[in-house]
Every structure is written in C-alpha cells, then in structure tokens.
Structure 1
Amino acid sequence: MKLSARDRALLLEGAHYDPHALLGAHPVAEGTLVRALRPLARRVSVRVGGADTALEALGDGFFAGVLPGPPPEEYRLVVAYPDGSGSVDHDAYRFLPALGELDLHLIAEGRHERLWEALGACPMVHQGVAGTRFTVWAPNARGVRVVGDFTHWERTALPMRSLGASGVWELFVPGVDAGALYKYDVLGADGAHSLRADPLARRTECPPANASVVHRGEYVWGDDAWLASRARRRPHAAPMSVYELHPASWRPGLGYRELAEELPAYVSDLGFTHVELMPPAEHPFGGSWGYQVTGYYAPTARLGTPDDFKHLVDALHRAGIGVLIDWVPAHFPKDEWALARFDGTPCYEHPDPRRAEHPDWGTLEFDYGRREVRNFLVANAVYWCEEYHVDGLRVDAVASMLYLDYSREDGEWLPNAHGGRENLDAVAFLQEMNATVYRRCPGVFTVAEESTAWDGVTRSTDHGGLGFGFKWNMGWMHDSLKYLAEDPVHRAWHHHRMTFAMHYAYSENYVLPFSHDEVVHGKGALVNKMPGDWWRRRADLRAALGFMWSHPGKQLLFMGQEFAQGAEWSETEGPQWWVLADDYVATGDHRGVRDLVRELNARYRATPALWERDTDPGGFAWVAADAAADNVLAFLRFAADGSPLLAVSNFSAVVRPDYRLGVPGAADAWREVLNTDALRYGGGGVTNPEPLKAETAPSHGQPASVTPTLPPLATVWFAPAPDPYERPSSR
C-alpha cells in the first residue's frame, strides 16, 4: 500500500511520466488498492455505490486503502478539507487516455491540421463522465502537472502522464468545465519548475493576468451566404479596398460586441470591401499592438470572449465586409510563463541562439525546421480561418523570416546547407502554410508583408513560389511618400519615384499600403508628410489617394487617415474623431477628405477597369509617364471588355489648362467622373463640368486626344460619356 521512496519523491516533484500506474484503483492480492494524492485534504474516502471506505493518510498528501473485490467500474473520492469544506469527485486516475492514436501519430508527424482539437483544454464527456481533457506538447519535460482554480492553485495534485514518444502529456480531469482557470506546472529538462500558460489555450485571462481559460465555443454563425459567395470569388479580379484598424483603439472602450454595432456600419458607409484587424491574438503588452503574441489560439480577452470575437466577424460578414487579420509567425516574446524554453529547453525557438534571437525586437524566432513547431503554426493559420471564419491572413514580417542574415552582421549568422543566406526552413514552412490554407479554406487568401525583392512571393507553391495570394508593395509606398514629401517645385527631379513601380507591377500580386507603420514612431500622420500649408497638404493627400485608388493593385488605408487627422496614431487615444464634430472650426477640411474616400471606394467598386485586370499587363497603359517638368502622370486602365478609364494626377501647384492627353479612339466624348479638387472635398473647385470632345489628333501613342483642365495638386478620372456610373459627378 505504501509507495517506494523513489516513486513518492517523483510524484511529489512532478517528475513521474506515468502517475496513473501509481494513483487510482489497481488490483492487488487482497482486492483493490486505491491511492490518491490530495495535498490539501484532511480526510479522503472512497465511495462505491452508497458506501464510503476511509483511506489511510500516508503523509505528504497521499491517502491509500484496500477495497474488497476487483476494481469497481465507477467510484468517487470524498474529500474533506480542514476548513470544513469538501468535495465528491470522480478520480482523474481511473480514466484511459482521452487522446486517440491517430491524433498522436499526426502530431508526431507534424501533420495535424486541426491541432487545436487534440492539444489544449477540451471540455468533453469521457467514459460517460463530464470533464476536461488537458493535453500539452512538452517533449523534453521531466514532468507536467495541471494547476488551476479547481486545485486552489496547488501544484502537486494533478500530475499528467506522458503518451510515449509523441512528447504529449495528457490528463482528463472530471468535473472541470468551461470557465475554469488553469496553467501547466512544467518540470523542465533543466530541473527547474515553471508555471506556464497553455500554448493551445483558446481563451485567456485579461492581461496582465495570464492564466488560460477552459473554453467551449457556443456561437451560432449566421454568415453561410457570405462563405458560399466567398468560395466563388476570384480576389485578384475583384475590387478590394482595405480599412486597417487597431480594434482596441478604433473607438477606445468598445469590446467586440460594441464594435460589431458600430464598425460594420462605418466601413459600409465608406465603401471599403474589407477590414484588416491588427493582430487579434492574445499578447501581454498592449503597446506591442498585438505583434508580440503569447496566445496564438486565443483572441485577446481585453475586448471580450472568443464568442464575442466571432460575433464581430459575423456582423462584418452580414454587412458584406471581408475580414483580414494580422498573423505573426515571425517571432514571439520571451515571457517566462509563455512559449520561451517551454520545457526547459529551446522548444518552440531554434536551439542555435544565432537563429533564435530576433535582432530587432528582443524576441525569439520559431524553429521552422522542427515539424511540431511548423505544425503548431500551420494549424494556427487554419484555425483562424475555420474557427473564426476570417477571409484572409496578412502575414507580418515575412522578410525577417526568409533571410538568415536579416538585421545581422557578418559573423552573427550561419549560411544554409548550400552556402546561401536564405532560411530554407522558413521557406518550406510558408509554402506549407499557404498550400494548406488554400486547400482547406475556399475563398481565403494570404497577404505577405515582404519588403525585399524575393522572387515568387505570390507564385504558386507548385511552381516554386511561396504561395501567397498578395504582397504588400512596400517599394511603391516608400517611393510615393518620398515623392510627396518634396515641394512641388522639386518634384520634377523625383518623378521616377512615381513611375518606377510599373516596371515591376506585374511581377507579384500587389496591395498598395498606407498602413499604421507609416503614422507612428514620430513619422507623423499621412497628411503631415506633405509640404506646404494646411490647404496644400490636404490637396496633396487627396491627390495621392486618387492616384493610389487608380493605380494597379489593391488599396489599404489605416484608420484616421480617411479623414486626414493631423496627429500620428496613438494606441491609447485612437483616431481623432472630434475633428469631424459639427462644432469643430475646420470640420469641412476633414469631412471633405472622408467624403472623397467614400467616393473613391464607390467609383472604384463600380468601375471594373480599376480592378478586373489588376494582374494583367494589358489592363494598363501609360499616357504620360515622362511629363516630369509638369509633375503630371496619366494612364489608362482597361476592363475585361476593353472599357477604359483615364486617370490623371497633377502634382504641381499650378492649374494646367488644355492639357492634351491621348485616349483610345472608340469614345466620342469623355466625362470627368472624379476630381479630388472638387469643392465638396475641400478643394479649389477647378473642374471639367462639361464632357470633353475627343479630337482625332493622335497623342501619346493613342489615336485620339482630349484637352482637360488639370487642377493643381489633384487627381482626376475620366470615363467615356455617357457616364455608366449612376451617381453624379463630384463637383
């Protein structure tokens, strides 16, 4: 009945790989030996049927006794505590493993595409008893125990068993239900104990608290029609304009459910097709904006529960708005209660410090060559798409993953097996992630934030590419902002910055981003990057937005920039909504820019020439690419049926009357359909109110030409008359 000194020590230390062999009910010559570990108990009895048999206290929280006959099919432990409280529970150590052999095989192979159903805390009925199965991967741990509010945070009572060579530890705990708080007490290979949050937790405490929470999803989705239509959509040949936002600060104080009441209406009114949420996964430091993740499978509890987050996504879908999320597989923080050295060894991070330490952010990089780590991340990408119905993943900091020498000096990195600087493990991971997401999730697409000239970011994996659907065009963004920062009198010398992107525009499938990265850390708001007085800066911004919306590629704009807020973004204050108030002295300035963004989106969505052939070089033709002295850029966009749109930007500060531009000869007249200098947008009102008669005078390689008046610091769109778009021209 007594334990050997070694077994007792291993159990008390949390170092026994098979506690079920010692605890629970076991046949012996005299009948059935029942042994329990209840460190806080004063007395423990075994209840079979209606009869209780007291167990003998053996010290250190151990209780044992022998029952007559074979082990009963069911029994309970009756526990009394010194404060007079007590409990009657099923014994966790009478249950068989609640994880199947197929799950273990797939985990060991690194191919469990629904890993969250195998690892983590899963409320379930097992062997006819309700409880929660706890499973965690800790391959080099000497032992793991479940700790929670159901153990009064006492660490000794619930040691887990090791399931063979899989590295998985498992324990079914009867009576534990959704809402319970828990962690894992991990005895690492280094001999040190650490209390860890669950890497696969589907819900967490609200930071700064960091316990995991047992979760059972109960949300009933209402977006079947959206998902069906999404599966048929071809995103590259469809309109896409993205409103990027930080959910916690878009309207400070709102949770997921309150956001669901306000965000869909706002985004719909402005005409954006998608929102992009900065990382929603749990993160300990709010100032990281979600880019240092500790809970990859849990939406941040700052704004509500996982079901609340589903409600937000559902509300956006029901409003016809797609949902992208920022996903951060490039690195993770070093918090001692999270992923870093999870089992006392480099577990999720690379074992070589030169590969593990991220040089820019004081974080750790994942070991993409380890199959279980790769599986953790690939399954996580699938998880957000399948469990939360998100429509796309914008993958953060891809360049930092692809290069072994990223932000490292000579001697600080090792070349790959071929002597190169490419991180071959990261390449294989990204290819697997993209291929898996596209195979499993019809209509979902991925977007790479990749800032180098890596070849084939959006090429399919079966042709050797990384397999992303889109890539942020960081070169276009940097070039455009550098050009716009110049005074108009100097822009002639920088004209190439606005034309260079077309040299590579069809090398990848691009998104044009004016993102949060450009309006933080002292960079100022978008409007304040422009030179001159307030009027000129706003005019430049309006012209830039008109140029952006007409340029090949999809568009992304960060919150607050849609109404030209003057301050850079602060995560504590959010957008400067007050500048739109009725009593604000300059309200027309900001409302005008917002009205322009609304009109840009409406015109864009109604004009197939601006999106139908985004990836086809035949959908674009320069009209005036070399008018550097005039600061003028003009080009044609063509729909699949050949319908054209002429976009003209005058980035000089002077009016240019009768400016001849070549146009296709099919139309007799061209009508101004959008003008960023219109009075209603806060402009000067230099417009072309009457249709422009096409002359048979060839120009710019086109058989005909028109001679519009070009307003200063403005972008103008022209379409063949009559205007196929039903709304009146913006004047």
Structure 2
Amino acid sequence: MTAVAPSPVPVDADTLRSVAAGAYYDPHTVLGPHVGDGAVTVRTLRPLADRVAVVTAEGSFEAQHELDGIWYALVPGATVPDYRLEVTYAGITSVVDDPYRFLPTVQELDRHLVREGRHEQLWQVLGANVRTYPGQLGEVRGTSFAVWAPNARAVRVIGDFNHWQGATHAMRSLGASGIWELYAPGVDAGARYKFEILAADGSWRQKADPLAKGTEVPPATASVVVETTYSWSDEAWMTARAQRDPHAGPMSVYEVHLGSWRQGLSYRDLAHQLTEYVLELGFTHVELMPVAEHPFGGSWGYQVSSYYAPTARFGHPDDFRYLVDCLHRAGIGVIVDWVPAHFPKDEWALAHFDGTALYEHPDPLLGEHPDWGTYVFNFGRPEVRNFLVANATYWLEEFHVDGLRVDAVASMLYLDYSRQPGQWRPNEHGGRENLDAISFLQEANATAYRRTPGIMMIAEESTAWPGVTAPTSAQGLGFGLKWNMGWMNDTLRYLREEPINRRYHHHEITFSMVYAYSEHFVLPISHDEVVHGKGSLYGRMPGDHWQKLAGVRALLAYQWTHPGKQLLFMGQEFAQQGEWAESRSLDWQALDDPSHRGVMQSLRDLNVLYRQTPALWELDHAPEGFEWLASDEAGLNLLAYARYAPGAPPAVVVVNFAGVPHESWRLPLPRGGTWREAYNSDSEAYGGSGVGNLGAIVAQPVEHYARDWSATVRVPPLGAVIFVAEGDEASQVEAVDAVS
C-alpha cells in the first residue's frame, strides 16, 4: 500500500489574503508552525521572496509559495522543532527567525490584571520589551510588542526593521483583554517603531506606543525600543529613603526647566553642572518640570504624548537615570512634575487611539478641557486608570525619583472646572465633584506610598478642597503635601504694593496662618509666577534697584521661615531681572553684578541655617511649631514670630516690609537669655545696608505683647532678621539674672 504524502494544514483563501495584507486579528493561527497529519506545516509571509526554506537541526525543507507572499513548508514529525527561515531576495540569502513560532509574552495573569486595572508594573508587559529565549539552534534575541487597543480590527508593528511596512509583523489579539501582542526576533534596542491600527471604520492609523520607554527627538514622533543597561550607585540614598518620612524633614526645592536652565546641556551635562550648583546653594531637592516626552517644547512638558519616556531632547533614558543618580549621590532629592490631568490631541499619539475615545472620556462634556485644548483621561475606565497609576510607580521605581508633583489637580476634581453652565454634567449625586478622578487620585497616592516608602506625592491644587493631604483611609485624597497657592497669591499681591501702602494690606501677609495647618503645605514661588507678563520676582518689587533686591531677599527669608516646605523657581535665587522664557537660558550674566551675587549668597546662607535649625522645619505641619510674637504691626509693615521644635533651640523671625529701618523696636521673646543673630538679609555681604544687632541680643525681663521677655532690636529696611536661642533656657535665665 502506497503511503499518502502529508499535506499542509488547510487555510481558506480569504483568511490567507487577510493574513497577507496584515489585516487578520489572529495571524498566529495561520502563520508559524502547526502540527498536522504526519508533518508540521510552517507558514511564513515573505512578500517578493525568490525562495524560502525552513531550516532545522535535521535539515532544510523547501517552502512552496501559496498565495500573496505566503509560503509554506512541511517538516516531518509530530512535534514543533526549533527552526529558522532561509529567505532569498534578488539572489541574496539571509537566515532569520520567525515571529510566529513564539507563545504569547503577555501571560493570562497579566491580562486579568490589565482588565481589572490592577497591573502595578504595566510597563513590564505592555509596550516594547527586549527579551531573549534559548533554543536548540541558539539563543534568540528580540523585542516583544504589546498594546491595548480593544476596538481595533487589526494591529501591526511598523518600524525601521521592516521598512515601515507592517504586514509581516501583524499582531495577535489576546481576546477580552483588548491586548495585541507579537514577539519580533532580531528587533533590538534602538529600533524605531509605531503601531499601525485598523479601526472599525476600515481606516489605518499610525500611532506611537503609549508605553514607549523611549522616543525620537521631537518633532519626529516614532517610539524607540529601549533596554536599560544602567548600574545605579545610589544605594545609600535609596536605603535611607525607605526608612524616613520625607514630609517631616527639611525641604527646600529648586524648580528647574531642563531645557532653559542652561540651554544645550544633555542629561549627563546637567548631572554635573546642575548637581554642583544645587549642592553649592544648599537646596535639599530639585523639582524638574515634566520630563516625559512632549511634542511641543513651548508646553514646557505639560502636554505629554509619551508618559513612560523621558524626553529624548537631552539624551537616552539611562542618561536621565545618571542625572538622578548624581543628584542622589550628592544628597539631593529629585521630584518630577507629573501630568495625569490631560493630554494633547495629536493624531499620532493617545487621541482616539484605536479609532474610538479610548484614553479620553467619550463624553465631550467630560473628555475635553476647554482652556488647554486637550483631552481629559477617562478616569473611570479600569485600563486607563491602570495606565496612569502604573506610570506613577514607573517613575518612582525605574528612575528612583523621590516624589511626584501632580499638576492641575483642581481641574481633575471639579466637573465644572473652567466650564460655564450647560458645559458640564453633574455626577450621579447631582454634584460637581468628579468621583472617578477622586478615586483615581486616591488609588495613585495609596499605591505609590505602599510600593515605594519614603517618596512624596505633592498636589498642585488651587482650591479649598478638603482633605487633600488627609489619608485615603479617612476619605482624603492621600497626598503627602499640597502647594499653598493662597500663601503665594496673597504674598505676591502684598509685595506689589509700595511700602507706604502695605499697611493697608497687612491682612494679606498674615492671613496664611489662619489656614496654615488645614493641609500639609509647600510654599511655592513657581514658574507660573514669573512668566506670561507677570515678570520676575525682581520686576514685581517696587522701588529702585537696591530696593528691589532687598525686597527679594526679605521675601525669601520670610518664605524660608514660614511654616511649610519651600519651592523656588530657577533664576529667582539671584533675582533675575527678566521674565523667564523657555526659549533661552537664564540670565546668568546677572551674576557679574555683585548685588545679584549677594542675593544668591543670602539664599545659600539661608539654606544652611534652615537645614541646621530644626525649629524652622520639624513642626511645619503642627500648630505648636509656630507662635505670633507681633502680628498687628501694620503701621510698621512688620511681622515677628517664633518657630519651635522639640528639644531644639527656638528661632525668632522679624520681617520688615517697610522701606525704612526700625531702630530700637522692642521684640517680644518666648524666653530669656542670649539670642544669636543667625541671619540678616540686610547684611553688607549680600549688598544690604548693614543694619543689624552686632551678632546677638540679650533678652530683658521686660513684659511686652504679653511676653515676660523682650529686647530692643534694630530691624533693617526691607529686611529680615532671624535670631536663634543659645544654650538651654535655665542657663539663659541665670545669665540674665546675673547681668541684672
């Protein structure tokens, strides 16, 4: 009896044509190896090939052309062997691996977690991840691609590895998860790619990868395969970080726009120059305006297109790691601005990703931001919420970032934010609160604090929303800190007034203490206050050149001694005269002027004193850490207050916002003894007039402002003086008694 020759596993012609066009939802059911009667059918799509063969350890098996560039070969046996493809084009033969012989790289548990919105390391399964596999014919190295596009009819990967023709790299649908997946052998780090998506309406659209870890330099828009090879050197920092409460320590933050601090610097250049500069000035942290990739530089990073990719403008993601590492090794924390509130409408990015409103809310009353011309995330969709929550984790864990400052929180909390009546839709209870956004913020904060102890989540929230920094267990939003926009607005409005008029606005400078402990605050003077016609701090101060500089020094001393942490935008540390512009470097030439260098020196000394004086930071969030000594000296434009910390010497601050000195002003003191003049913003070393107190004052048992102790002091014009108690209280009292 004659044996029947094996035949290929059958596939109908329509399916073959769909596979050949790269438009089939499950190409792995056709391409790759499939066991049949007596042989393994191997199909491959190799358009325009002259010859194809399947090569195994047992030999080479010629393939036959079947239809529209699809070839098949029969390999004897009942099990799938390790094999390669030998393909000849125009007389040139190459040996390649077959993308369709690999099992899915996204496991069932991963798919379940994505559907539930609970995959906290989403970047490890979606996006582009370099992977290697062992085999009988040798190790295979390539990249697994996976993307969430639940409404797509087909998805394929295009890139410089396939001449941007994606039919040979069509992805398979992983069912109800909405994930499409393909392992592409031979595609390595550095490859450029996009996803090409067939929408329900039959149109193809090319999209950057939402979870790309790298991108081309804008204005180019392709994603880039990234494999980190960085070895961290900040073990000491990371170990200490996990063991401390960052909200309770000293925190003075230098806010930086990387592109304009000094133009033309890379991440690695910045790692040395910025670290050296911040270390010299004594700041405890830097805060980087958004570094996630963004198409338009003029957005300053606040319109993000690739949430998982540090901008390529300054180098490779590992170069950004190097920047963070250098700052950490210098003892400087790193905060990054994070923008989950909205994203731009660029057609190649997240907008209508699979032909539908996927990442954005489908209801235009909920899904579009009228002020910024952007889309608003659909915070109620589990996969979208997961995309953002995992993104926060990604920056904290993969880049060792120490905190995220969350931008535009108010725009997320209120359904009627920047909307007129009729332009917003109430929630299910008829209110204006965005319940989905609230839930998202709570989840993001709780997840970040649980996974990465020692980090900070900081809200830029400009309203009186209650419980921003209350724990989620108490129905709060769960942030660790909140920007105190009220303090900033009131203070800058007060300082715009001529000194002679400030007496009529005294309540603006004292009002912040009414609500100082309602949240855990950061006091910001941010980029938003020195742009768009607002002018620099220097420019907002009334008076001549000397008075403007004195006003800046007094403001910084007041800010650094007020309850709360501090943040200052770059350039203001030396009282840059011009308004900030992202298109040019800071006005470094100002430092050729000794008076501007004096402002910088004053801030450097202020930072040193601040870090060495627990009274100025330890009880920032507790009422017992602050006491008014004189709050109603409106006629003098003067404030006096004390700061306390358990077991540490108290500090007393006198700030004079008048343009004249106050000689022999009696300062009420919380206790007796000697008080060292630890800082004077009017020091001649800073360019001031030198009005001071000869290094120290001695308290006298003279009651004043209901205090048992007081001293006469000289208060400089447009200046601030900080006194720190010396010795313990008992010895101080004895010393005063002996003198008297």
Q: TM-score, normalised by structure 2?
A: 0.95
1:641 aligned to 2:652?
no
Measure how far apart 1:418 and its partner are. 0.5
Aligned to 1:47: 55
- Structure 2 stretches of 5 or more lacking a match? 1-7, 730-740
Amino acid corresponding to residue 44 of structure 2 in structure 1? A
Pick one of 7, 26, 35 that aligns with 2:43.
Answer: 35
8 Å Cα contact 1:673/1:723 also seen in 2: no
Distance in 2 of aligned mates of 1:28 and 1:693:
98
Change (3 A) 1:49 1:231: closer
Bigger Cα displacement from structure 2, 410-419 vs 179-188: 179-188
Measure how far apart 1:487 and its partner are. 0.3
1:530-574 deviation per Cα after TM superposition (whole angstroms, max 9, x unaligned): 111111111111111111011000000011110011111111212
Distance in 1 of aligned mates of 2:245 and 2:604:
24
Distance in 2 of aligned mates of 1:50 and 1:252:
60
| 1:13-412 mapped onto 2 (5 Å cutoff) | 13-29=21-37, 31-49=39-57, 51-70=59-78, 72-82=80-90, 84-126=91-133, 128=135, 129-412=140-423
Amino acid corresponding to residue 413 of structure 2 in structure 1? L
Distance in 1 of aligned mates of 2:80 and 2:389:
44
Distance in 2 of aligned mates of 1:633 and 1:305:
49
8 Å Cα contact 1:404/1:415 also seen in 2: yes
Amino acid corresponding to residue 706 of structure 2 in structure 1? G
8 Å Cα contact 1:25/1:71 also seen in 2: no
Distance in 2 of aligned mates of 1:172 and 1:22:
16
Aligned to 2:4: none
Distance in 2 of aligned mates of 1:589 and 1:493:
30
8 Å Cα contact 1:457/1:466 also seen in 2: yes
How many correspondences in the alignment? 717
Distance in 2 of aligned mates of 1:231 and 1:66:
58
Change (3 A) 1:72 1:693: closer
1:453-484 deviation per Cα after TM superposition (whole angstroms, max 9, x unaligned): 00000000001100000000001000000000
Distance in 1 of aligned mates of 2:371 and 2:562:
33
Measure how far apart 1:66 and its partner are. 3.4
1:695-722 deviation per Cα after TM superposition (whole angstroms, max 9, x unaligned): 2111122211111011111111112246
Q: Secondary structure at the match of 1:340?
A: coil
Measure how far apart 1:335 and its partner are. 1.1
Q: Secondary structure at the match of 2:441?
A: helix
Pick one of 686, 703, 708 that aligns with 2:713.
Answer: 708
Change (3 A) 1:153 1:688: same
Measure how far apart 1:16 and its partner are. 1.8
Q: TM-score, normalised by structure 1?
A: 0.96
Distance in 1 of aligned mates of 2:22 and 2:507:
66
Aligned to 2:616: 610
Q: Secondary structure at the match of 1:659?
A: strand
Aligned to 1:727: none
Change (3 A) 1:642 1:307: closer
Aligned to 1:528: 539
Distance in 1 of aligned mates of 2:63 and 2:81:
19
Aligned to 1:729: none
Distance in 1 of aligned mates of 2:344 and 2:47:
34
Distance in 1 of aligned mates of 2:128 and 2:44:
23
Pick one of 682, 685, 701 that aligns with 1:680.
Answer: 685
Measure how far apart 1:360 and its partner are. 1.1
Pick one of 476, 486, 489 that aligns with 2:500.
Answer: 489
Distance in 2 of aligned mates of 1:112 and 1:693:
62
Measure how far apart 1:95 and its partner are. 1.4
1:259-284 deviation per Cα after TM superposition (whole angstroms, max 9, x unaligned): 11111111111000000011111111
Measure how far apart 1:71 and its partner are. 5.2
1:489-536 deviation per Cα after TM superposition (whole angstroms, max 9, x unaligned): 111111111001100000000000011111111111111011111111
Aligned to 1:657: 663
Q: Secondary structure at the match of 1:411?
A: coil
Amino acid corresponding to residue 718 of structure 1 in structure 2? F
Amino acid corresponding to residue 77 of structure 1 in structure 2? L
Change (3 A) 1:40 1:644: farther
Distance in 2 of aligned mates of 1:605 and 1:136:
47
Distance in 2 of aligned mates of 1:225 and 1:51:
55
Aligned to 1:589: 595
Pick one of 566, 569, 582 that aligns with 1:571.
Answer: 582
Q: Secondary structure at the match of 1:709?
A: strand
Amino acid corresponding to residue 683 of structure 1 in structure 2? G
Change (3 A) 1:71 1:153: farther
| 1:510-521 mapped onto 2 (5 Å cutoff) | 510-521=521-532
Bigger Cα displacement from structure 2, 468-477 vs 121-130: 121-130
Aligned to 2:733: none
Aligned to 1:629: 635
Measure how far apart 1:29 and its partner are. 4.0
Change (3 A) 1:592 1:722: farther
| 1:551-566 mapped onto 2 (5 Å cutoff) | 551-566=562-577
8 Å Cα contact 1:58/1:64 also seen in 2: yes
Distance in 2 of aligned mates of 1:115 and 1:510:
32
Amino acid corresponding to residue 289 of structure 2 in structure 1? M
8 Å Cα contact 1:34/1:65 also seen in 2: yes
Measure how far apart 1:301 and its partner are. 0.8
Q: Secondary structure at the match of 1:688?
A: coil
Measure how far apart 1:88 and its partner are. 1.1
- Structure 1 stretches of 5 or more lacking a match? 582-586, 725-731
Measure how far apart 1:144 and its partner are. 0.6
8 Å Cα contact 1:511/1:556 also seen in 2: yes
Distance in 2 of aligned mates of 1:267 and 1:723:
34
| 1:433-582 mapped onto 2 (5 Å cutoff) | 433-581=444-592
Identity score, percent: 59
Which runs of 4 or more aligned residues in structure 1 lie more than 6 Å from their structure 2 counterparts after TM superposition? Answer: none
